[in-house]
């Protein structure tokens, strides 16, 4: 057991998985000598050599497209895309191929790869470095979408993602990379995909969140008897965990950083509307990013759900 | 400061048998008469498959279909140059490749009739399902070839796309990766001169597509795409080079799409009849027939026999395709992930389908 931040936890997951399975390789821009722009792959080149920690041309489409072929042939590529906004260049490869090849070939071929990418506001960068576009991917059948929120679950979830037989998008909260240090077991353990975790138990109100926003939603819950669910996997998400909690509390607030319209919170809200509406004591509320282009540093605090906006939502549902 | 030339490229063109059936005396020894006979017979089979697909579409028995008429030498000649352990990545206009590799024709007819099971490649072959989005499968072949190299397997990948596909970023990014990582892959551009209604001259200002390989650090060659012998030799050489660690090659097969883009298209809207007729005179079977005749290996009866056999074989495959039971509706959910998600299980149950 040692104290690690999320960067260290991911590094440790990669390193252990590469030791466990020689087909696991890391490809991406600057992942080798530079150790990645966030230093997530630091030290791996020295440990595993340039045949397994591979610096590629600056070409997101090429990285994902080649990873599809690598995976289909039997490698286990972990492709790093430097920022989520850069993944847009490779979207067609994900949407038109990676998620469809198992179905298109009726199971003869598959694409077991992991796309790792930092997401969200957090490091005051130029434009397109702070996107939170999970909903785009969750809409697409055939992919799994995972968002860790702590060093412990980052390591365990990434290991599960690497061992998963399908394409997994692994969204790393850039704001949390180095801000939380916690105990992470040395050696092998996994956190299963598709299961939520009860971050905090409570009776009056269910809060559903993930990634960066989980911590803010949690901080805002001070003074409320809130049950906080960390979804961790958005696709496929743990519907049972949400329904069980809402049936107990009768209130639901969903907090995410991405824009509200067609955001993943809408899916969670719709599930509750369809399957547990009779348990609700209050309207379901979403606290989300605004209907605007993700801003640069000066305006980001206005864009993201603030503690105040989240608290207001909690207060509002508690009035019922 | 003087201006120096720091790089020069030369683009080769290969033809072995011309449209009159005359063979280049220096090049022809690289291809045996048995191989040429095989090209001839396989093209007849591919053409029989193609012709019946077009009629089945007109009769409403299959859906939209993309004809290969005129391009058979590019497809058959190249496909036969790969070994069975190599991986191929076809586009949607590659019936000739698939037929040449022995892909079950009944499965292809099922596929074109709207049944995905037709793209479940038999275990004895390694052919990826055809890519409908143009040119976007090029990097997949690079990736698979790269994996072969990383695993130390002595194999190659081959990928088919058209002149239109060469305009996509995916083409360039796939070639670039292959060059950088020296992946054992052969890029087969089926330059059939038309991307639906847009001519080759509007796809690129470059004189050839082959020369684009040089920008990615490896060799490109243009071949007479209606000369099966030339396509075969160029591909065979490229496959050997790939397997020997020499990296990728781009082969531009200079050919012509004699039919409409698909059964949903009318090519008379955008190209002159004279152009089509001029190319029809150069179609791949004519020169092979003339060549074999000169060698005393062709008679009318021989060709009739081959054609009859091909037609019988196609008829039997169509019968098999049409007698095949319809797909299980649950298949549409079943292959999305390796395992059903809880939501999918629910949808299966609600739809009344078995799990």
What's the pLDDT tens digit per position in A188-224?
999 999 999 999 999 999 999 999 999 999 999 999 9
Which chain A positions have a beta carbon within 8 Å of B121's beta carbon? 105, 108-109
DSSP assignments along A5-31, one per residue: -HHHHHHHHHHHHHHH-TTEEEEETT-
Give me the residues paired with residue A285 across strands: A253
Contacts of A146 in chain B (CB under 8 A): none
3-class secondary structure for chain B?
Answer: CCCCCCCCCCCEEECCECCCCCECCCCHHHCCHHHHHHHHHHHHHHHHHHHHHHHHHHCCCCCCCCCCCCCHHHHHHHHCCCCCCCEEECECCCHHHHHHCCCCHHHHHHHHCCCHHHHCCCCCCCECCCECCCCCCHHHHHHHHHHHHHCCCCCCEEEEEECCHHHCHHHHHHHHHHHHHCCCEEEEEEECCEECCEEHHHCCCCCCCCCHHHHCCCEEEEEECCCHHHHHHHHHHHHHHHHCCCCCEEEEEECCCCCCCCCCCCHHHCCCHHHHHHHHCCCHHHHHHHHHHHCCCCCHHHHHHHHHHHHHHHHHHHHHHHHCCCCCCCHHHHCCCCCCCHHHHHHHHHHCCCC
pLDDT tens readout for residues A97-109: 999 999 999 999 9
| DSSP structural state of residue A92 | H
3-state secondary structure of A123: coil
Looking at the structure of chain A, the number of domains it has is 2
Candidates A27, A53, A56, A73, partner chain B, best to mutate (most B CBs within 10 A): A73
Question: Is the CB of A61 less than 8 angstroms away from the CB of B169?
Answer: yes
Cα–Cα distances in angstroms (integers) from residue B125 to residues A1, B119, B156, in the given order? 48, 12, 13
| A101 chain-B contacts, CB cut-off 8 A | 128-129
Q: Radius of gyration of chain B from Cα atoms?
A: 21
Residue B291 designated active-site: no
Q: Give the mean model confidence (pLDDT) for residues A125-131.
A: 93
CATH of the domain at A276: 3.40.50.920
Query: How close is the nearest chain A Cα to the Cα of B60, in Å?
Result: 23
What tokens does B29 get? 């020894």
Domain boundary among A116, A149, A184: A184
**B34 Cβ partners below 8 Å, 6+ apart?**
none
| Residue A75 confidence (pLDDT) above 60 | yes
Class of the CATH domain delimited by B12-324: alpha beta
- Of A29-33, A183-187, A196-200, B13-17, the one with minimum mean pLDDT is A183-187
Using an 8 Å CB-CB cutoff, list chain B residues near A79.
Answer: none
Order across the sheet with B157-162: list the strands.
B12-14, B219-224, B249-254, B185-191, B157-162, B87-89
* Of B126, B137, B344, nearest in space to A98 by CA: B137
Condensed to tens digits (0 to 9), the pLDDT of residues B101-136 reads 999 999 999 999 999 999 999 999 999 999 999 999
Are A180 and A201 in the same domain?
Answer: no
Number of CB pairs, chain A paired with chain B, less than 8 A apart? 141
Residue A31 and residue A90 share a domain = yes
Judge contact between B138 and B170, C-beta under 8 A: yes
Contact B145 A69 (CB under 8 A): yes
CA distance A300 to chain B (A): 33
Retrieve residue B313's tokens: 């074989």
Low-confidence ranges of chain B (pLDDT < 70): 355
Q: In the prediction, which pLDDT does B355 show?
A: 52
Chain A positions touching B138 (Cβ under 8 A) are 65
Residues A84 and A108 in one domain: yes
Active site annotation includes B261: yes
Which pLDDT belongs to residue A264? 98
Q: How far apart are CA A149 and CA B354, in angstroms?
A: 37
Is there a single domain that holds both residue A175 and residue A210?
A: no
Nearest-angstrom CA–CA distance, A314 and B98:
61
Interface check A240 vs B, CB under 8 A: yes
Q: Does A191 fall in a domain?
A: no
- Does A17 map to a domain? yes
Please state, in angstroms and as integers, the Cα–Cα distance from residue A107 to each residue in A110, B54, B117, B338, following that order.
Answer: 7, 29, 9, 8
**Option in B117, B145, B176 nearest A62 (CB):** B176
My answer on whether A219 and A245 are in the same domain is: yes
Query: Within this chain, do residues A92 and A207 fall inside the same structural domain, yes or no?
Result: no
Which of the listed residues A184, A216, A246 is the one where a domain comes to its end?
Answer: A184
Tokens (6 digits) for B261: 């883009």
Summary mean pLDDT of chain A: 97
**Interchain proximity A166–B338, CB inside 8 Å:** yes
Helices (H), A178-263: 211-220, 239-249
The pLDDT of residue A1: 76
Predicted confidence at residue B354, as pLDDT, reads 78
Catalytic residue among A97, A129, A199, A256: A129
CATH number at residue A120: 3.40.50.970
Last residue of a domain, one of A128, A151, A184: A184
Q: What's the CA gap between A172 and A161, in Å, rounded?
A: 13
A167 and A256 share a domain? no
Query: Could you read off the pLDDT of A262-310 as tens digits, one per residue?
Result: 999 999 999 999 999 999 999 999 999 999 999 999 999 999 999 999 9
Residue B11: HSE in the Cβ half-sphere, 13 Å Cα cutoff = 17
Query: Based on the domain organization, do A175 and A209 belong to the same domain?
Result: no
Answer yes or no: do A129 and A29 share one domain: yes
Are A179 and A267 found together in one domain? no
Give A108's contacts in chain B (Cβ within 8 Å).
120-121, 123, 129
Nearest CA in chain A to B331: A106
Q: Residues 6 or more apart from B72 whose CB is under 8 A from it?
A: B43, B46, B47, B50, B96, B228, B284, B285
- Residue A95 lies in domain: 2-184
- The residue among A178, A174, A173, A133 whose CA lies nearest residue A5 is A178
Cβ partners under 8 Å of residue A66, min gap 6 = A27, A56, B139, B140, B142, B143, B146, B174, B177
Query: Is residue A71 within 8 angstroms of chain B, CB to CB?
Result: yes
Q: Is A144 on the interface with B (CB under 8 A)?
A: yes
Determine, yes or no, domain membership for A293: yes
Residue B311 exposed, middle or buried by CB count within 10 Å (0-12, 13-18, 19+): middle
Name the residue ranges covered by the structural domains of chain B: 12-324, 329-355
pTM confidence score: 0.98
DSSP A269: H
Residues of A in contact with B329 (CB under 8 A): none
Q: What percent of chain A has pLDDT over 70?
A: 100
With an 8 Å Cβ cutoff, is A49 touching chain B?
Answer: no
CB B217 within 8 A of CB B179: yes
Contacts of residue A96, defined as CB under 8 A and 6 or more positions apart, other chains included, come to: B133, B136
B291 CB contacts (<8 Å, ≥6 apart)? B17, B21, B22, B23, B36
Q: Pick A105's closest partner by Cβ from B129, B133, B139.
A: B129
Mutate which of A65, A71, A138 to test chain B, going by most B C-beta atoms within 10 A? A65
Active-site annotation holds for B216: no
Q: What span, in angstroms and rounded, lies between the C-alpha atoms of A212 and A150?
A: 9
DSSP A293-318: PPP-GGGHHHHSPPHHHHHHHHHHHH
CA Rg, chain A, in Å?
19
Same domain? A84 vs A107: yes
Give the whole-angstrom CA distance, residue A81 versus residue A59.
Answer: 9
Residue B100 and residue B49 in contact, taking contact as beta carbons nearer than 8 Å: no
The answer on pLDDT for A174 being more than 90 is yes
Q: Which residues of B touch A (CB under 8 A)?
A: 87, 116-117, 119-121, 123, 128-129, 131, 133, 136-148, 150-151, 157, 169-170, 173-174, 176-177, 180-181, 331-332, 335-339, 341-343
Residues A222 and A283 in one domain: yes
């Amino acid at each position: 057991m040692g104290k690690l931040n999320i960067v260290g936890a991911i590094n440790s997951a990669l390193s252990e998985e590469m030791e466990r399975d020689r087909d696991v390789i890391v490809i991406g821009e600057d992942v080798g000598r530079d150790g990645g722009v966030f230093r997530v792959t630091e030290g791996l080149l020295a440990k595993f050599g340039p045949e397994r920690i591979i610096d590629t041309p600056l070409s997101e489409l090429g990285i994902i497209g080649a990873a599809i072929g690598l995976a289909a042939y039997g490698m286990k590529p972990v492709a790093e895309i430097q920022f989520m906004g850069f993944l847009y260049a490779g979207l067609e490869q994900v949407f038109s191929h990676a998620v469809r090849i198992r179905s298109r070939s009726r199971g003869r071929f598959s694409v077991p790869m992991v796309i790792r990418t930092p997401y969200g506001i957090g490091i005051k960068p130029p434009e397109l470095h702070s996107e939170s576009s999970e909903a785009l991917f969750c809409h697409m059948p055939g992919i799994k979408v995972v968002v860790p929120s702590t060093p412990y679950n980052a390591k365990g979830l990434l290991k599960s993602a690497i061992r998963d037989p399908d394409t997994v998008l692994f969204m790393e909260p850039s704001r949390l990379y180095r801000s939380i240090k916690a105990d992470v077991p040395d050696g092998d353990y996994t956190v299963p995909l598709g299961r939520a975790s009860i971050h905090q138990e409570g009776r009056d109100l269910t809060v559903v969140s993930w990634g960066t926003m989980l911590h803010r939603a949690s901080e805002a819950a001070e003074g409320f008897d809130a049950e906080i669910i960390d979804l961790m996997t958005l696709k496929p998400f743990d519907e049972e965990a949400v329904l069980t909690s809402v049936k107990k509390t009768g209130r639901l607030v969903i907090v995410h950083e991405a824009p509200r319209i067609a955001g993943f919170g809408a899916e969670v809200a719709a599930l509750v509307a369809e399957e547990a509406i009779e348990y609700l004591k209050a309207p379901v509320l979403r606290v989300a990013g605004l209907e605007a282009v993700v801003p640069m540093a000066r305006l980001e605090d206005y864009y993201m759900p603030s503690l105040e906006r989240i608290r207001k939502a909690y207060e509002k549902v508690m009035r019922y | 400061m003087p201006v120096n030339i720091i790089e020069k490229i030369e683009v080769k063109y290969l033809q072995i048998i011309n449209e009159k059936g005359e063979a280049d005396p220096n090049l022809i020894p690289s291809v045996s008469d048995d191989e040429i006979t095989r090209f001839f017979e396989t093209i007849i089979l591919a053409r029989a498959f193609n012709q019946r697909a077009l009629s089945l579409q007109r009769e409403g028995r299959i859906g939209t279909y993309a004809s290969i008429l005129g391009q058979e030498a590019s497809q058959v000649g190249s496909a036969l140059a790969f070994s069975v352990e190599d991986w191929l990545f076809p586009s949607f206009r590659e019936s000739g490749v698939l037929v040449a590799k022995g892909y079950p024709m009944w499965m292809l007819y099922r596929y074109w009739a709207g049944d995905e099971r037709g793209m479940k490649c038999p275990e004895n072959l390694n052919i990826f399902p055809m890519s409908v989005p143009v040119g976007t499968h090029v990097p997949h072949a690079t990736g698979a070839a790269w994996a072969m190299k990383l695993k130390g397997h002595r194999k190659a990948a081959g990928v088919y796309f058209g002149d239109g596909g060469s305009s996509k970023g995916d083409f360039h990014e796939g070639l670039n990766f292959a060059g950088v990582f020296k992946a054992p892959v052969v890029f087969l551009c089926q330059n059939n001169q038309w991307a639906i209604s847009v001519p080759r001259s509007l796809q690129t200002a470059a004189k050839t597509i082959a020369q684009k390989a040089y920008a990615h650090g490896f060799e490109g060659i243009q071949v007479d795409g209606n000369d099966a012998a030339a396509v075969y030799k160029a591909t065979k050489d490229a496959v050997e080079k790939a397997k020997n660690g020499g990296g990728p090659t781009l082969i531009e097969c200079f050919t012509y799409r004699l039919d409409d883009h698909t059964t949903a298209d009318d090519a008379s809207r955008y190209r002159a009849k004279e152009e089509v007729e001029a190319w029809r005179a150069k179609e791949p079977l004519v020169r092979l027939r003339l060549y074999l005749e000169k060698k005393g290996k062709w008679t009318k009866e021989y060709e009739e026999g081959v054609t009859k056999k091909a037609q019988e074989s196609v008829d039997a495959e169509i019968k098999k395709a049409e007698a095949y039971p319809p797909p299980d509706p649950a298949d549409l959910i079943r292959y999305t992930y390796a395992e059903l998600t809880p939501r999918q299980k629910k949808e299966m149950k609600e739809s009344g389908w078995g799990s």
